[in-house]
Copies of this chain bind each other. A is one copy, B any other.
Amino acid sequence: MNIYDIAREAGVSITTVSRVINNKENISDKTKLKVESILKKHNYTPNAFARGLMSSSIKSIGVITVDIRKQHYAHTAFTIEQDFSKLGYSVILCNTGGKTTESINYFKMLMEKKVDGIILIGSIFNDQKVKKYVSKYVKNIPIVLANGHLDVDNGYSVLVDDFDGIYRCVEYLHKKQHTKIVYIKDMETYSAERKKEGFIAGMNQYGLMLDETSISEAVHGLEGGYEAVEKLIATGKEFSAIIFGEDITAVGGIKKLKEMGWRVPEDVAVTGFDNSIFAKCCEPELTSVDNKVETVASLSAKMLHDLIEKKEVSSTIMIRPDLIIRKST
């Protein structure tokens, strides 16, 4: 059922039908009503491809993330989808799995499908090849990074000050008289790097003892945190507080601590990052940096929409995180 069929049945031209569909002016109420009734009768839906062919847009955006199974990303993607859906756009979801080839293929696909814009969630896009590809070929599509980092010309970003988040963990623990603080860093991302820098800056600021044994690495996740603490204890390193780069890793760490007979927070204070549901599942509940998922997501969506509508936008928005104090410190 296309516009010709409708026009024929209504005894008018396709132009008239098109006018009715798109609520244009210069239509008599009488014809309008007649056409509308036939439209409804056949439950007519316009062909989006033909529309797209004219306007070279089908009102859609691409959302690329490493893995939507990660709570934080899912939360971000959800908010973005909801916001854009209200604006009449649909969202194409892409999970790269962190792989270069996949990432580039997703960009290609999104370009073929002529999305109006792209949002990148998370900071796993610093692969040189990806960067090169994007800055070379994806020139005319606006890109917004939600909590990510990517040096390209058309790259705008909304991010949380990860540096500040961890810095304030140190500050808070220092106020609580902790002097032996260690940091467990997970994942090789830009964000993780910034967090580490925040830790170092904080430790230096408050004159706390800091050397290479103060920072250890963990595979991201529950098991990662568990193993990292296991290793840390094995080294004999003394500490009264652990700062983790992510909640879920902290939960794994606490698990190990408790197994070893350490009490939290009496023997060791622990902080996490994300203020996710894991912080509340945990026992004791986890003090965590709230990195404002929804705010970041909504601002990213708004920014991309502004870019699509050619409005002026500032290239970077930085959000200050909050420290949520709970029972683990």
Contact status B95-A92, CB under 8 Å: no
Contact status A82-B109, CB under 8 Å: no
A119 within 8 Å of B (CB atoms): no
Minimum CB distance partner of A277 in chain B: B222
Contacts of A77 in B (CB 8 A): 68, 93
Minimum CB distance partner of A255 in chain B: B283
Most B C-beta atoms less than 10 A away, residue of A48, A93, A109: A93
A210 within 8 Å of B (CB atoms): no
Q: Is the interface of A mostly helix, strand, loop or mixed?
A: helix
- Tell me the A78-125 residues at the B interface (CB within 8 Å): 78, 81-82, 85, 90-95, 97, 102, 106, 108-109, 111-114
Task: State the oligomeric state as a number of copies.
Answer: 2
Most B C-beta atoms less than 10 A away, residue of A67, A112, A114, A280: A112
- Once A56-B49, A95-B81, A114-B49 are accepted as A-B contacts, the answer to whether A281 and B251 lie under 8 Å apart by CB is yes
- Tell me the A44-64 residues at the B interface (CB within 8 Å): 45-50, 52-53, 56, 58, 60, 63
A326 within 8 Å of B (CB atoms): no
Contact status B280-A48, CB under 8 Å: no
Complex Cα spacing A186 to B284, Å: 25
Contact status A113-B90, CB under 8 Å: yes
